[in-house]
Structure 1
Amino acid sequence: MPTGLTQDAGWQIGVSKTLPLPVSAVWDFVASPEGIALWLGELSQGADLPREKGAGYATVDGIAGEVRGYRPGDRIRLTYGTTTLQVAVTSAGEGRSVLRFHQERMADAQEREHQRTHWRSVMERVVAVLLAD
């Protein structure tokens, strides 16, 4: 099976980064309006992403979907157009954490490569803001 193709989730991509920050600091940022605008885009209905399972959202750039799961301090899972996106923060030991973006159910290898470039760029921007403080 080609890299990035799974039997259950189709084409997928994951980008992660270990940060010298506690989980709470990373989570507070990625779940904040500023953080959401960086990784998801500016929301058309206001600055806050809904937390209720099944709640819809839309960005000013035309991405729409619904929240599939929201566990404070842990992960946000939502549909992202026709794909599924998960943003997770986990502990990497004392005072360190791992931020992950994982997207699945993409159409093909070409979309996977495009999204890999996208999520790497998103990660760079998020990390730059987190480490600037």
Structure 2
Amino acid sequence: MDKIGLTKDAGWQYGIRRTVDLPLEEVWDYLFSTNGFKIWADQVQTDFSTFKKYSHIRTKWKMKDWDGAASLQLRVLSNSRTKKTTIALHIDQIKNELHRDQAKKYWTGVLAKIIEKLRSA
């Protein structure tokens, strides 16, 4: 039986998407504002390997008790038809199933906070 999140050659992975009824630029600007950055950038290496404004970033991330880092990709996607924006987060190279479960719990909570703040702004 296949295990959810286990890849053939890149370890474990996890992805989550959340959509808000706001323009892409507003969502991106909030994510990289002082208040937004505090919500999601804890334990994230801020020397991003990729930084494309209003599109995506790539970097490393790990929980405090992990002995190795996973790869994190954060994308902000606009839907011109619905005028909504999706925040898409993908983490791969996660060491094991326990770390995947920890990442899932952590990032589900982080995105819930971000969406709550964006909707109340």
TM-score by length of 2: 0.84
Q: Measure the CA separation in 1 of the matches of 2:38 and 2:75.
A: 16
1:69 to 29, 35, 50: 50
The answer for unaligned runs of 5 or more in structure 2 is 63-68
Indicate the residue corresponding to 1:90 in structure 2: 77
Q: Measure the CA separation in 2 of the matches of 1:116 and 1:131.
A: 22
Q: What CA RMSD, in Å, does the superposition of the two structures yield over aligned residues?
A: 1.5
- Paired residues, what number? 112
Residue identity matched to 2:5: G
Q: Measure the CA separation in 1 of the matches of 2:38 and 2:99.
A: 22
SS of residue paired to 2:93: strand
The answer for unaligned runs of 5 or more in structure 1 is 42-62
Residue identity matched to 1:91: S
TM-score by length of 1: 0.77
Cα distance change on mapping 1:64 and 1:15 into 2, 3 Å: closer
> Higher mean Cα deviation, 83-92 or 63-72?
63-72
Checking the alignment, whether the CA contact within 8 Å between 2:16 and 2:88 is kept in structure 1 is yes
Checking the alignment, whether the CA contact within 8 Å between 1:11 and 1:108 is kept in structure 2 is yes
State how 1:112-123 maps to structure 2 within 5 Å.
112-123=100-111
Cα distance change on mapping 1:116 and 1:91 into 2, 3 Å: same
State how 1:1-133 maps to structure 2 within 5 Å.
1-41=2-42, 63=43, 65=45, 66-81=47-62, 82-92=69-79, 93-133=81-121
Q: Measure the CA separation in 1 of the matches of 2:4 and 2:84.
A: 29
Name segments (4+ residues, structure 1) moved above 6 Å. Answer: none
Cα distance change on mapping 1:33 and 1:8 into 2, 3 Å: farther
SS of residue paired to 2:54: coil
SS of residue paired to 2:49: strand
